[in-house]
Amino acid sequence: MQNKEALTEENKTKMNLDKCKIRFKSHYLAAFFLIALATSVFYLTGENSAISEEQDSQKQNARNEEEPKARNDSVLSCNLFSGRWVFDNLSYPLYKEGECSFMISDYACEKNGRTDLKYQNWKWQPRDCDLPRFNGTAFLEKIRGKKLLFVGDSLNKNQFVSLLCLIESSLHQSSPKEVIREDNLFIFQATEYNATIGFYWSPLLVESNCDDPYTHRIKDRIIRITAIEKHAKHWTDADILIFNSFMWWLEPTMTILWGSFGSNDAIYKRVEMKLRRYEMTLNTWSNWLEININRTRTKIFFMSLSPYHFKGESWDDPQHCYNESEPIWKENYWGIGTDTEMMHAAESALKNLERRGLKIEYLNITHLSDYRKDAHPSIYRRYSQPPNEEQLATNPKGYSDCVHWCLPGVPDSWNEILYSYIINSL
């Protein structure tokens, strides 16, 4: 009996020891598991934090890279040509007529006697965005080392002079401020930027008997409708080309020449077909561009028709520019002189070029300019044969220029739009 009790006690002792060992092992395993878990959590937390920081950094870098792009895209995706004119005599004009070294008397309305200067204070405001204010320094930096060339008629020259006035304040005071003429080419060199801004007189784009920049008041206009190389050879080295050609095609009849001027076997044919003449010329122009333009280097723009204001919405509507001091306020106004068929012909030519792989930006300034019957030189213009006071008093409308634009004025807004494209797309 005593032996059985001793064995029982011994067994109990062994069981207690075994339980202790099991508890010890369990605690040990639990401790080990907790240490391992803590280590894993620490490691994963640190790694996730590093990954999170890296991702945040990448996101921020992406935002930093995308924000300027987004701002640029917002301007270019906005319809800059739909909007209204807003009076702003605090910010406009962008320069003073009398302080522009490049001003010529054709557009210097104030110098020529105009005293109502409100036409200088209107700002074009697109409906869905703000038009970037012209910054001459930023523009010149953008075209540093480049050549920008306007090609066309006196309305493109109007815009050329406007652009020079806009950049003048950004030029060094000691910089030469003169335009050099070489035949049909007018050139200004912004020497400190190694930039060239020029204008090439070619009102019909193709060769004609109106090709002299000063002596071109010829009643019977003759065009070599398939001949463009005489002019176009001066365009090939340009980095930015801005074309226009509308006003000179409005003559009811022209003579088309097949052959050379002065050639005995040349064929002359007097034709009407205004639209067809224009389309044929645009085809010649398009073919030359397709073959000769460096598509990776040269940016091309085409300015739409610049409206005139001899009449209003109908031939009986006396919306003449003489003595006008306010814009037209009627929404969606279109003057009868705005030839939409001609505009469609130009748009069609540009679309055909795009299908052939050559993109040209069409700056449709027609509608926004059509509101501004107040902004033409009218009688405050340069005259080739000045009228006397009696002639001017009895027939002021007959002596008025309702085609070109006073400067400062509407062409400055054209250049603000051009500036937006150049700054954001080059």
Annotated active-site residue in 153, 154, 370, 378: 154
pLDDT of residue 109 exceeding 90: yes
Query: Residue 45: its pLDDT value, please?
Result: 42
Average pLDDT, the chain: 85
Annotated active-site residue in 153, 339, 401, 412: 401
Query: Residue 395: its pLDDT value, please?
Result: 93
Q: What is the pLDDT of residues 179-237, one digit of tens each?
A: 999 999 999 999 999 999 999 999 999 999 999 999 888 889 999 999 999 999 999 99
Q: What is the mean pLDDT of residues 25-52?
A: 42
Residue 309 annotated among the catalytic residues of the structure: no
pLDDT of residue 319 exceeding 90: no
pLDDT bucket at 132, cuts 50 / 70 / 90: very high
pLDDT of residue 139 exceeding 90: yes
Q: What is the mean pLDDT of residues 287-311?
A: 95
pLDDT bucket at 8, cuts 50 / 70 / 90: very low
pLDDT of residue 138 exceeding 90: yes
Judged by average pLDDT, the poorest of 61-75, 95-109, 352-366 is 61-75
Residue 154 annotated among the catalytic residues of the structure: yes
Residue 404 annotated among the catalytic residues of the structure: yes
Cβ-based burial of 352 (10 A; exposed 0-12, middle 13-18, buried ≥19):
middle
pLDDT bucket at 31, cuts 50 / 70 / 90: very low
Q: What is the mean pLDDT of residues 89-98?
A: 97
Whether the upstream peptide bond of residue 252 has omega within 30° of 0, thus cis, is: no
pLDDT bucket at 16, cuts 50 / 70 / 90: very low
Annotated active-site residue in 231, 309, 376, 404: 404
Q: What is the mean pLDDT of residues 139-160?
A: 98
Spatial separation of the C-alpha atoms in residues 201 and 184, rounded to whole Å: 5
Tokens of 414: 């054209």
Query: In this structure, how many other beta carbons lie within 10 angstroms of the beta carbon of residue 41?
Result: 10
Domain boundaries along the sequence of the chain = 1-77, 85-425
Spatial separation of the C-alpha atoms in residues 417 and 407, rounded to whole Å: 16
pLDDT bucket at 316, cuts 50 / 70 / 90: low
CA distances (Å), origin 93, targets 46, 83, 124, 372, 408: 60, 19, 12, 15, 6
Backbone CA torsion sign across 185, 159, 374, 120:
negative
